[in-house]
A and B are shown apart, each in its own frame.
Chain A
Amino acid sequence: DGGITQSPKYLFRKEGQNVTLSCEQNLNHDAMYWYRQDPGQGLRLIYYSQIVNDFQKGDIAEGYSVSREKKESFPLTVTSAQKNPTAFYLCASRVRGRETQYFGPGTRLLVL
């Protein structure tokens, strides 16, 4: 999982602002995922993508958007429609045909 990077480590959002979290992997993994982690809630799936130019909504997609223009990149935008964005955001990836998901180091989003 050292080949998955997320930036920034901390991000501050003002009310009404859209912010974008970066996720990059150099593992040649096909599928990429975004999870949100709140205290005591475990991880919840926001969006996922199994191939370039295709992505699917997860369990809590409202207020978020993604793109997958390159195999190695899967950025997540937290829009102003997301009313409670404060959380730890984790990106993960996996090789097609293998189940194991590897996580990036995460981005902690805070609201000013």
Chain B
Amino acid sequence: GENVEQHPSTLSVQEGDSAVIKCTYSDSASNYFPWYKQELGKRPQLIIDIRSNVGEKKDQRIAVTLNKTAKHFSLHITETQPEDSAVYFCAAPGRGSGGGADGLTFGKGTHLIIQP
């Protein structure tokens, strides 16, 4: 099955600086990679996703890059703000389903702390 590794487990940055979170995956058949943001006690919320036919996707201050050859993808947050403080999870399709129909395999999460 799929194995997703996420680093770092904790990331502290100054407000206004950039933050980068990295994930690797093992199944070359995976073709969909979402990122979720989870605030304390809340449900995970999708913030951005990327499919394997593109190498980068941007949405305002958030971007995701994908390197299929190396099997890694990264989340980039620019001009960080206090409300960006949360736990971020990357995921990849589990169980060889390619697009995630059979569920997702998640990384263990990164606790992002924005220092004022």
| A and B physically associate | yes
Q: Mark B1-31, 1 if CB is under 8 A from A, else 0.
A: 1000010010000000000000000000000
Contacting pair A99 B103 (CB below 8 A)? no
Nearest A residue to B44 by beta-carbon distance?
Answer: A103
In the bound complex, CA of A59 to CA of B105 (Å): 9
Contacting pair B45 A1 (CB below 8 A)? yes
In the bound complex, CA of A41 to CA of B38 (Å): 14
Q: A59-B1, A100-B49 are in contact. Are A31 and B101 (CB under 8 A)?
A: yes
Whether, in the assembled complex, B106 has its beta carbon less than 8 Å from a beta carbon of chain A, the answer is yes
In the bound complex, CA of A78 to CA of B69 (Å): 41
Whether, in the assembled complex, B42 has its beta carbon less than 8 Å from a beta carbon of chain A, the answer is yes
Contacting pair A45 B49 (CB below 8 A)? no
Chain B residues with CB under 8 A of A50: 101
Size bracket, chain A contacts: 20 to 34
A-B contact pairs, 30 of them (CB 8 A): A31-B101, A40-B9, A41-B108, A42-B6, A42-B89, A42-B106, A42-B108, A42-B109, A43-B44, A43-B89, A43-B91, A45-B104, A48-B102, A48-B103, A56-B102, A58-B103, A59-B94, A59-B105, A90-B43, A99-B34, A99-B49, A99-B99, A99-B100, A101-B46, A102-B46, A103-B43, A104-B43, A105-B43, A106-B42, A106-B43
Report, nearest first, the 4 A-B pairs whose CB atoms are least far apart: A42-B106, A45-B103, A103-B43, A42-B108
Binding site for B on A (CB under 8 A): 1, 31, 33, 35, 40-45, 48, 50, 56, 58-59, 90, 94, 99-106
